[in-house]
Amino acid sequence: MALIRAFRTADGRWHGELDDPTTIERFAVLPFFPCGGETAADSPYAGQFLVAAVGESGTPPGWTRFLLWEQALYATGVVCWLLFGGDEPDQWPSA
Protein backbone atom coordinates (compact mmCIF):
# COMPACT_ATOMS: atom_id res chain seq x y z
CA MET A 1 0.00 0.00 0.00
CA ALA A 2 1.35 3.44 -0.91
CA LEU A 3 1.70 5.65 2.17
CA ILE A 4 3.30 8.94 3.08
CA ARG A 5 6.56 7.58 4.48
CA ALA A 6 8.43 10.79 5.25
CA PHE A 7 8.21 14.53 4.86
CA ARG A 8 10.73 17.29 4.20
CA THR A 9 10.60 20.67 5.90
CA ALA A 10 11.61 24.00 4.36
CA ASP A 11 15.12 23.66 5.84
CA GLY A 12 15.68 20.52 3.71
CA ARG A 13 15.55 18.00 6.58
CA TRP A 14 13.65 14.73 6.17
CA HIS A 15 11.54 13.30 8.99
CA GLY A 16 9.97 9.86 9.10
CA GLU A 17 10.79 6.57 7.40
CA LEU A 18 13.12 7.26 4.51
CA ASP A 19 15.41 4.32 5.25
CA ASP A 20 15.14 2.90 1.72
CA PRO A 21 14.84 5.74 -0.83
CA THR A 22 14.43 3.25 -3.69
CA THR A 23 10.90 2.51 -2.47
CA ILE A 24 9.79 6.13 -2.93
CA GLU A 25 7.46 6.32 -5.92
CA ARG A 26 6.89 10.06 -5.99
CA PHE A 27 6.96 13.31 -4.08
CA ALA A 28 3.92 15.48 -3.42
CA VAL A 29 3.02 18.70 -1.65
CA LEU A 30 1.55 18.13 1.81
CA PRO A 31 -0.19 21.25 3.13
CA PHE A 32 -0.27 20.89 6.91
CA PHE A 33 -2.61 23.50 8.35
CA PRO A 34 -4.45 22.04 11.37
CA CYS A 35 -7.27 24.09 12.87
CA GLY A 36 -6.98 25.74 16.25
CA GLY A 37 -7.94 23.48 19.13
CA GLU A 38 -6.73 20.33 17.37
CA THR A 39 -3.85 18.37 18.88
CA ALA A 40 -1.75 19.14 15.81
CA ALA A 41 -2.24 22.91 16.12
CA ASP A 42 0.82 23.02 18.40
CA SER A 43 2.93 20.84 16.12
CA PRO A 44 6.25 22.38 15.08
CA TYR A 45 5.24 21.58 11.49
CA ALA A 46 1.82 23.27 11.60
CA GLY A 47 1.26 26.02 9.05
CA GLN A 48 3.74 24.67 6.51
CA PHE A 49 3.74 23.23 3.04
CA LEU A 50 5.78 20.04 3.40
CA VAL A 51 7.14 17.72 0.73
CA ALA A 52 5.80 14.20 1.20
CA ALA A 53 7.69 11.10 0.08
CA VAL A 54 5.10 8.56 -1.05
CA GLY A 55 5.84 4.91 -1.56
CA GLU A 56 5.00 1.33 -0.77
CA SER A 57 5.41 0.35 2.84
CA GLY A 58 5.07 -2.93 4.68
CA THR A 59 4.13 -1.12 7.87
CA PRO A 60 0.44 -0.57 8.61
CA PRO A 61 -0.96 2.89 7.96
CA GLY A 62 -1.42 5.39 10.76
CA TRP A 63 -4.80 6.76 11.84
CA THR A 64 -4.95 9.88 9.64
CA ARG A 65 -5.50 10.39 5.95
CA PHE A 66 -3.90 13.53 4.53
CA LEU A 67 -5.21 15.50 1.58
CA LEU A 68 -2.44 16.07 -0.94
CA TRP A 69 -3.02 18.16 -4.05
CA GLU A 70 -4.02 15.18 -6.20
CA GLN A 71 -5.39 12.61 -3.74
CA ALA A 72 -5.84 11.66 -0.10
CA LEU A 73 -3.34 9.20 1.37
CA TYR A 74 -2.67 7.64 4.73
CA ALA A 75 0.73 8.14 6.34
CA THR A 76 2.78 5.68 8.32
CA GLY A 77 2.30 5.74 12.09
CA VAL A 78 5.71 7.38 12.52
CA VAL A 79 4.77 10.28 10.23
CA CYS A 80 1.45 10.70 12.07
CA TRP A 81 3.22 10.85 15.45
CA LEU A 82 5.72 13.39 14.18
CA LEU A 83 3.14 15.66 12.57
CA PHE A 84 0.80 15.58 15.53
CA GLY A 85 3.47 16.53 18.04
CA GLY A 86 4.91 13.30 19.37
CA ASP A 87 8.47 13.45 20.64
CA GLU A 88 8.94 10.03 19.06
CA PRO A 89 6.57 7.29 17.90
CA ASP A 90 4.14 6.15 20.61
CA GLN A 91 5.05 9.03 22.92
CA TRP A 92 3.11 12.27 23.16
CA PRO A 93 5.05 15.38 24.14
CA SER A 94 5.17 16.14 27.81
CA ALA A 95 2.95 18.97 29.04
- pLDDT, tens digit (0-9, with 9 covering 90-100), for 15-74: 988 777 777 899 999 999 887 666 777 788 989 999 999 998 888 888 888 988 778 999
Other C-beta atoms closer than 10 Å to the C-beta of 6 total 25
Enumerate the H helices of 1-95 as residue ranges.
77-83
Domain ranges in the chain? 2-83
The per-residue b/e assignment along 50-84, b for 16 or more CB within 10 angstroms, e otherwise, is bebbbbebeeebbeeebebeeeebbbbbbbbbbbb
Given this model, what pLDDT does residue 78 score?
A: 87
Q: Per mean pLDDT, which range of 3-7, 69-73, 89-93 is the poorest?
A: 89-93
**Of 36, 42, 43, 50, whose CA–CA distance to 83 is shortest?**
43
Element (H, E) at 62: strand 61-67
pTM: predicted TM-score of the whole model, two decimal places: 0.81
- Give the three-state DSSP class for 46: coil
Predicted pLDDT at 93? 46
- The pLDDT confidence band at residue 11, using thresholds 50, 70 and 90, is very high
What's the whole-number mean pLDDT along residues 72-87?
Answer: 84
